[in-house]
Structure 1
Amino acid sequence: MDALLRRLDSTLEDLRWALAQVPPEREARRPPPALGEWSVRRHLYHLWFYEHHIALPQMRYALGLQGPLLPGEVPDEDLAWPREIPAARWLEQLEAVRRETIALARPLPPEVWTRPVSGTVWGTRTLAWIVTKTLQHTYEHMTTILQIALFWEMAAAFEPRWMAE
């Protein structure tokens, strides 16, 4: 599981690099429709939100450190999103949650990683699955951020009536 935790840690640097590829004046703007509905800022907020409100609490649940997530416990992500906070700040917030995740997971013995846990938001899953899902989720949004950085002009050229926010 050390390799998984190293990947989880390294994606923070990868996200920082991906964010640096986006022109600063575009980080808060909705991209052309071919690149999705969310700004780069919104993608980073979403990554933080997911890890803070879902992934880390599910890890704690899998380890018996807290109860299951109950309906209504997770705030409405869209309503809670403070649009004015810059992407770099969300990356800092994500780093803090990720450090907590890694610190919680690093000392665990191998058998804890593969023990099935029922009652997670995804059904019966292992801790290894939960952490791998977190990694997959990061890659998914990082890919979209890089697509926004690379293909904005091309996508905008095919959307003549598109108006960025």
Structure 2
Amino acid sequence: MTDRAYDKDTAWTNAVLPPIAPLATEHRTTVCVVGAGIAGLTTAYMLAKEGRGVIVLDDGVIGGGESGLTTAHLVNALDRRWTELARLHTPERLRLAAASHTAAIDTIERIVQEESIDCDFRRVPGYLFAAPGHPSSTIEDEIKAAHQAGLGLVHGVDRAPLDAFNTGSARAA
């Protein structure tokens, strides 16, 4: 096993994709998108719909990088946590970040519907719970910060619906 993301063995990277040959000749285009994950392909799709010439380049297989290593769960819960972002940015910028992530998910859903893409896209709840040893106030603070960001549907639950272990209080969206 190597460290290249697309060489990892996950449910998403085990999908059989048609082989794509490397560019063998010179090409000219209006836009070059680097990265064939969900963000790069969505960007290329939107540019192509506007009539722009687009080439997508990637050093591996389509969807084989970070997109291939995720749970395929598009979320507006960011890695840097809303509490940290609220500490670093103004409320306006916080709302802008939340709105942009929400708009991206909505756009992907719209494209899936318009193009009849058979990818099993569906809206499902997401949960965030504190790591063992962290106080439940961690989750309460995260809910407050998510509300500051304009994510009014985020709410607390007694636990995430996992059978394997009790998560304790969690944030649901």
Same fold (TM over 0.5): no
Question: Which protein shows a greater Rg?
Answer: 2
If the TM-score is normalised by the length of the shorter chain, which range does it land in?
under 0.3
More helix by share: 1
More strand by share: 2
Which one has more relative contact order, counting CA pairs under 8 Å at least 6 apart?
1
